[in-house]
A and B are shown apart, each in its own frame.
Chain A
Amino acid sequence: GAVVSQHPSRVICKSGTSVKIECRSLDFQATTMFWYRQFPKQSLMLMATSNEGSKATYEQGVEKDKFLINHASLTLSTLTVTSAHPEDSSFYICSARDARTAYGYTFGSGTRLTVV
């Protein structure tokens, strides 16, 4: 079945540094990738939608200069948290649109980011 590989699964970084999270579709072409953020015991919140070869569409309230999204190829999308702050600590997860599957979406395994 469709697989989206997300790395790293956990990362701890210092305030002010940048962190890159990668999502790769392993056996299909992900023309659209969704990036979500989840705070403890809360639902997933869509941050942005990225389409291969074009600029990402950010949801209201999400700083595009802080959360840089790149979708340079049909199998790779990256989210870079720039100048990280402790309030950026969260669970980040990607999801690829895959019309071939019965479910329509395949999720990555998530990245738990802790900024100290």
Chain B
Amino acid sequence: KNEVEQSPQNLTAQEGEFITINCSYSVGISALHWLQQHPGGGIVSLFMLSSGKKKHGRLIATINIQEKHSSLHITASHPRDSAVYICAVKVGNEKLTFGTGTRLTIIP
């Protein structure tokens, strides 16, 4: 069993829909990251969380430390949001352990 599980693996939605991607982890962590990987492969950091909730534009990330669960929400989704979204957890000081990603496709 992977230490970091994401769901769903694939998600297709219509433009404008509210999107939720979930991440569950099984180990104690010092921080959780949400990353966005575009088709060309480049990765952009979206959020780093250790508690609570963060918002950036149409993106919202929440984390529940007790339940070892985090969610990434996208409001008013747009085709340009189509990408792979990756959850990663930091265990200890440095290393990140990655989920397998959620492939999001937004249809115009």
Which stretch in B13-21, B35-43, B73-81 binds the other chain?
A: B35-43
Interface of B is mostly: strand
Are B99 and A43 within 8 A (Cβ)? yes
Question: Which residue of A is nearest B95, CB measured?
Answer: A46
Which residues, 44 to 82 on B, are CB-close (under 8 Å) to A?
44-48
Of the candidate stretches A18-26, A70-78, A107-115, the one touching chain B is: A107-115
Question: Given A107-B45, A109-B41, do A97 and B94 touch, yes or no (CB 8 Å)?
Answer: yes
Known: A43-B86, A43-B100. A105 touches B33 (CB 8 A): yes
* Residue B106 interfacial (CB < 8 Å): no
Q: In the complex, how many angstroms separate the beta carbon of B29 from the nearest chain A beta carbon?
A: 13
State A112–B41 Cα separation when bound (angstroms).
Answer: 8
Provide the A83-98 mask, 1 if CB < 8 A to any CB of B, else 0. 0000000010101010
Interface contact A43-B98, CB-CB below 8 Å = yes
**Chain B proximity of A32: nearest CB distance (Å):** 7
Number of A-B contacts (CB under 8 A): 59
Instruction: Give chain A residues whose Cβ lies under 8 Å from the Cβ of B101.
Output: 43
- Chain A interface: which size bin? 20 to 34
From residue A111, how far is it (CB to closest CB) to chain B in Å? 8
On chain A, the residues within 8 Å of B96 by CB distance are 34, 44, 46, 95, 105
- Complex contacts, B11 vs chain A, CB 8 Å: none
Residues of B close to A34: CB separation below 8 A:
94-96
Smallest CB-CB separation from B34: which chain A residue?
A103
Is B100 a contact partner of A110 (Cβ separation < 8 A)?
no
- Docked Cα-Cα span, A36 to B48, in Å, equals 19
Contact (A103, B94) CB under 8 Å given A43-B101, A93-B41: no
Residues of A within 8 A of B (CB): 9, 32, 34, 38, 41-46, 49, 91, 93, 95, 97, 101-110, 112
Interface of B toward A, CB cutoff 8 Å:
4, 31, 33, 35, 40-48, 86, 88, 90, 94-96, 98-101
